[in-house]
């Protein structure tokens, strides 16, 4: 299953505010306000992810995303009804954390400089952007109790910043899985010697079944990495 976790303010306070991150359970009803904020964070994060793909592709010589009007942070140009609305609502309702995607930014790999590494560089840009967002907002959370000008930030901002970190780590880790159509597959294909091209053919032919198996049976083995990275970046531990 997808990792579950929701950022809550603890009733106890230390240095202005102390955060506690709790794993969600069925006993935590869906909070509409919390879902709206979570969805807004997800949309911001997936849009940044996709736009970064387009900018790197454009920098490597392919203007497809530019001509398609996708080099913009306007979410309306990127939203996918299923991935940006329906799936996030379902994962929040049943798992306690939003997860989804935006419409993939188009690019033509034959226009890219760098040979087989061109698509890999375009792919890496997405998770790298998510990690950068997680680091920036995580630093604000980590320093909020020690720097006077950050200590003045309201607890609600720290909660939202923590959610930004969690969602972006989740997106980065999931997209690094080397299975099409995820970004990690482009890096894997660039690393594979030609004699192992049958691996790429197998993955591209059976990607849907492999993704389903990964999500329902293997993700739970990798999901602890999301919470470990969250704790390392923010200094906030996950509790049961």
Task: Give the model's pLDDT for residue 154.
Answer: 79
Q: What is the pLDDT of residue 236?
A: 81
pLDDT at position 89 is 87
Please report the DSSP string for 50-98 in residue order: HHHHHHHHHHTT--HHHHTT-SS--GGGT--IIIIIIHHHHHHHHHSS-
> What pLDDT was estimated at residue 106?
93
Active site residue 204: no
Determine contact, residues 111/62, Cβ cutoff 8 Å.
yes
> Residue 56's pLDDT is what?
97
pTM over 0.85, yes/no = no
Q: Are 210 and 199 in contact (CB under 8 A)?
A: no
Other Cβ atoms less than 10 A from the Cβ of 130: the count is 27
Nearest to 98 by CA among 50, 141, 40: 40
Q: What is the CB neighbour count within 10 angstroms for residue 133? A: 22
Q: Cα angle vertex 157, ends 154, 160, to 5°?
A: 150
How far is residue 75 CA from its own chain's centroid?
16
Give the per-residue pLDDT at 157.
85
pLDDT recorded at residue 130:
97
Two tokens, residue 96: 């306690």
SS3 239: strand
CB 105 within 8 A of CB 50: yes
C-beta of residue 7 within 8 angstroms of C-beta of residue 240 = no
Q: Please check whether residue 8 is in contact with residue 139, taking contact to mean a CB–CB distance below 8 angstroms.
A: no
Token pair, residue 114, equals 């760098």
What residues contact 127, with CB distance under 8 A and at least 6 apart? 49, 171, 172, 173, 175, 176, 183
Q: Which residues contact 240 (CB under 8 A, 6 or more apart)?
A: 22, 23
Q: Given the residues 50, 118, 121, 189, select the one marked as catalytic.
A: 50
Residue ranges of the chain with per-residue pLDDT less than 50: 1-28, 240
Helix, strand, coil % over all residues of the chain, rounded to 5: 65, 5, 30
190: part of which helix (H) or strand (E)?
helix 183-191
């Amino acid at each position: 299953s997808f990792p579950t976790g929701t950022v809550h303010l603890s009733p106890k306070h230390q240095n202005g505010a102390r955060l506690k991150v709790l794993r969600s359970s069925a006993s935590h009803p869906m909070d509409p306000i919390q879902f709206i904020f979570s969805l807004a964070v997800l949309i911001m994060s997936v849009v940044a992810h996709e736009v970064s793909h387009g900018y790197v592709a454009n920098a490597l010589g392919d203007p497809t995303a530019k001509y398609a009007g996708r080099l913009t942070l306007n979410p309306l140009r990127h939203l996918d009804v299923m991935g940006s609305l329906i799936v996030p609502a379902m994962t929040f309702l049943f798992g306690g954390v939003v997860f989804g995607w935006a419409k993939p930014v188009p690019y033509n790999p034959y226009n890219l400089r760098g040979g087989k590494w061109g698509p890999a560089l375009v792919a890496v840009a997405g998770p790298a952007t998510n990690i950068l967002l997680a680091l920036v907002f995580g630093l604000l959370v980590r320093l909020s109790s020690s720097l006077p000008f950050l200590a003045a930030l309201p607890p609600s901002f720290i909660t939202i910043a923590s959610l930004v970190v969690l969602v972006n780590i989740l997106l980065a880790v999931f997209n690094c899985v080397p299975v099409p159509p995820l970004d990690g597959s482009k890096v894997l294909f660039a690393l594979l010697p030609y004699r192992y091209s049958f691996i790429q053919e197998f993955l591209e032919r059976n990607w849907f079944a492999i993704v389903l198996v990964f999500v329902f049976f293997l993700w739970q083995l990798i999901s602890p990495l999301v919470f470990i990275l969250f704790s390392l970046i923010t200094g906030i531990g996950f509790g049961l």
